[in-house]
Amino acid sequence: MDLDTLHKGRQTIVFDRHPVILAHSAIAGKKESEGPLAGFFDHTETDTRFGQKTWEKAETRLQELALDTARSKAQLQYSDLDVLFAGDLLNQCISSAFAIRDTRIPFLGLYGACSTMAESLTLAAAAVNAGYAARAAALTSSHFATAERQYRFPLGYGGQRTPTAQWTVTGSGCCIVASNGRGPYLNCATIGRIEDYGIKDANNMGAAMAPAAYSTLRAHFADTGLRPQDYDLIVTGDLGTLGSTIVTDLFQRDGVEFGANYRDCGVLIYDLKRQDVHAGGSGCGCGASVLCGYLLRQLREKKINSLLFCATGALMSPVSTWQGESIPAICHAISISNERR
């Protein structure tokens, strides 16, 4: 295949061999188990420490459970996986590294913040499509308490949350990608560019990330020639109520019909009226657990036939926030369907 066949436009790569999602799993915490998607998770835990001594060890346990569940559903051993792409929100991606250190799976660590599920799935699909791997895993997680401690305030501080704040999901998702199987199929991915509109408020992540989602979605439609209505669902990872409204408004400003088939994982995962999560869910585990629990099941059950999954991430650190830096954001989109497209 020549480069023109494998690359569309400026940002989109094509998986011409259509790798498949062989198996997937979603693990979630107590608050998520009380939300509207509770029945779609493979495992939920009422103990927010998942039987561990610290929040950080709990997040490691989340990834261990997600990876082992997906591997088991695919009827594979760890030795059957050629490479694993994983990352998380903690310093040096310790949740991912600690979760897989005893598996002996070749590992490539990622940091895409909350875009990591789409990033890892894109790289797993690319590796399988190119023939570098027969089977690859994509994995990520987040935990409410670890993220709050690292990026905002320790829980014991009891700080008030602003109306624009979102609730970091305690959850993990894993996909096993293979060169053949019954599907769903991975068709193409649009790799995002960093967008920074000067937002500095770490409690307003939806507004910081919305321009990146808009940018990547526009690039995807321009590169592929597809329209929003060509997908049964377009789902962003964790923009919440505010960020998803901004994306819809930006497309409407362009005169593009957008919104009827658009959802956001941060809005789907919680009951916003009953659970008091303010602007919705966030975190790597938000998009990961909704994709690997709810959305892929919708595809497998033929309730939808095509999905554009667009995970967004805020590429900041506590130090950059303290130093007054604005929040750069990224979004990656991957096309998934029941038929090869």
* Domain boundary pick from 161, 178, 195: 178
Angle between helices 240-253 and 205-224 (to 10 degrees): 40
26 and 174 fall within a common domain: yes
Number of domains, the chain: 2
173 and 71 fall within a common domain: yes
- What confidence score (pLDDT) does residue 3 get? 65
Q: Range of 306's domain? A: 185-337
204 and 305 fall within a common domain: yes
* Domain boundary pick from 127, 161, 178: 178
Segment 81-95, tens digit of pLDDT: 999 999 999 999 999
**Phi, psi for 117 (deg, rounded to 5):** -65, -45
* Domain boundary pick from 178, 205, 230: 178
Segment 138-178, tens digit of pLDDT: 999 999 999 887 776 666 666 777 889 898 999 999 999 99
B/e letters for 300-332, b = 16+ CB within 10 Å, e = fewer, are eeeebbbbbbbbbbbbbeeeebeeeeebbbbbb
170 and 58 fall within a common domain: yes
221 and 160 fall within a common domain: no
222 and 148 fall within a common domain: no
Q: What CATH code is carried by the domain that includes residue 264?
A: 3.40.47.40
Distances (CA, A) of 77 to 19, 71, 116, 129: 19, 7, 24, 21
The beta strands (E) that lie in 207-280 are given as: 233-236, 262-264
Segment 110-132, tens digit of pLDDT: 999 999 999 999 999 999 999 99
66 and 25 fall within a common domain: yes
21 Cβ contact list (under 8 Å, min separation 6) = 175, 176, 177, 181, 183, 184, 185, 186, 296, 336
- Provide mean pLDDT across the span 292-321: 96
